[in-house]
Structure formats: structure tokens, C-alpha cells
Amino acid sequence: MKAIIEYNSRKIVIDISKPIDISIAIDPKKQSVNAWYIDNPKIKPEKFDDYEVSVANGAVVNFNGISFNPHSHITHTECVGHITKEVHSINQNLKHYFHLTEVVTIAPLFHNGDFLIGVKQLKTALRNKKRDAIVIRTLPNLEDKKSMDYSNTNPTYLSEKAAIYLKEKGIKHLLIDLPSVDKEKDEGRLLSHNAFWNTDGKLRMDATITEFIYVPNDVEDGEYLLNLMIAPFENDATPSKPILYEIIK
């Protein structure tokens, strides 16, 4: 089923029957993705007077409570409120949901004991392309990204210069398949978060970072239309379900 979308005076054709889901779900039945040193998420029936409310237990409905942290357990999208003293909500600041995006695959560099994504790699991938969003898939791209516990593993991160480049390039929405754009333990500097949101100047209130995505290996690098769907939480971050659509023309 084809749809024609006018985007910045350009007519884009997509097949809406072929969405590419790049989110990671919470599934307590199996090992879930995790980071930042907290317990696994929980989905379980609520109890009233020790009675478990589930159809399996004789109730007329399933009535589950969910305990999780968006930064630790699921694909999530965050705004500048993640690192500011003043409260800012992603639900209030993300106002547009369709974005022209570039999917890029990066083999991290080894530098001073860390693996990182450097500015030269992003410049090579983007060149003179004008995009509102970037989706970064790192190598190796194994299925265990969807179930790994990243705590105390010093995962790959984005260099500060790379974050500055993306900001200056006009990228408003940064999506990455890692627990954070910053180093796991960096003494609270959060260099890439701060650089991307421009905390030393005018805050980029409409810019977002989405972490813990997973881009399947059969998705080719290139231009896509992104639908960045979020849950309506008044919080600095919220679970999200980014969907890519291949551009036919």
C-alpha cells in the first residue's frame, strides 16, 4: 500500500504496508536488554488481598502492573530534560514525528582503551546529505544487542566531536543502538549529550536522542522516512517505537 507524503516541498513515496520496526521491547519471559545497574523490568498481575488478577487465575481480565526504567530497559527517546536542572518533558517538546533520516553502519574505532564513533566516520557517511535524523547501527550487529546487560561493560559511545558535528549538521534526531551516546563512566561529564543539545548556548529543545534501537542486518544503509512514535509520558524520556519506511522515490 503506497502513500505519498509531501515533506519540505518534496513528494516522497513509501509503502506503508512494509514498516521496519527498530525498537527493542520489554519481554519478561526472556532476558531483556538492561543497563545502569538496576534489576530487570517486571510485568506481573496486580494483587488485591493476595488475589492475583489474571484470567488464568479466574478473573475476567488480565490486569498487569509494569515496573521499568526507560533508560535501562527499552528503546527510549529523551529530550534535553535528561541532563538539565529544569524539568523538560519529551512529551511536550517532540512535536513532529515524521523525519527524513539516514541509516548508517559504523565500525567503532579503538582509541585509548575505548571503542567509539568518530567524527570522520560520520562525515564520510553523511557527506553533503541533508537529513533531519540519523540512525546509527554499530558493528558487530548481533542479535544479543536485544538482550545484553551493558552494566559495567564500557560499551561503545559517540565522541564529543562527532556529537558537535551532528549538531552543526542540523541533525535534530539521533538514534543509536547503544545504551548511551556517552561513555558509561565519565565522571558525569556527559560530553556528547551536552554537545548535541548545546547546553553551553541556546538549548535545542526540539532535538532528541533515542537509545537502545536495533536495526536488522537486512536493512540497507541509506535514506528512509522515520516515524518516531513515543508513549505520552511527561518525563525527560519515554519508551518509543521508531519505525523506518523505505523511500520508493
Q: Residue 249 pLDDT more than 80?
A: no
Q: Residue 30 pLDDT more than 90?
A: no
Please give the class, per CATH, of domain 2-25+70-246.
alpha beta
Quick: pLDDT tens for 136-173. Answer: 999 999 999 999 999 999 999 999 999 999 999 999 99
Beta strands at 47-48 and 51-52: parallel, antiparallel or unpaired: antiparallel
* Cβ–Cβ under 8 Å, residues 75 and 87: no
Show the beta-strand stretches assigned E in the chain.
2-7, 10-15, 20-21, 42-45, 47-48, 51-52, 64-67, 76-78, 98-106, 109-111, 114-117, 133-138, 157-158, 173-176, 208-211, 222-230, 237-246
What distance separates the 2 farthest-apart alpha carbons in the chain?
A: 63
Report the distance separating Cα 49 and Cα 171, nearest Å. 52
Supply 4's cell numbers. 505519498
pLDDT of residue 148: 96
Half-sphere exposure of 248 (CA within 13 A, CB side): 13
Average pLDDT, the chain: 96
Q: Residue 80 pLDDT more than 90?
A: yes
pLDDT of residue 150: 98
Q: How confident is the model at residue 7 (pLDDT cuts 50, 70, 90)?
A: confident
Q: Residue 100 pLDDT more than 90?
A: yes
pLDDT of residue 102: 98
Report the distance separating Cα 66 and Cα 202, nearest Å. 37
Quick: pLDDT tens for 164-209. Answer: 999 999 999 999 999 999 999 999 999 999 999 999 999 999 999 9
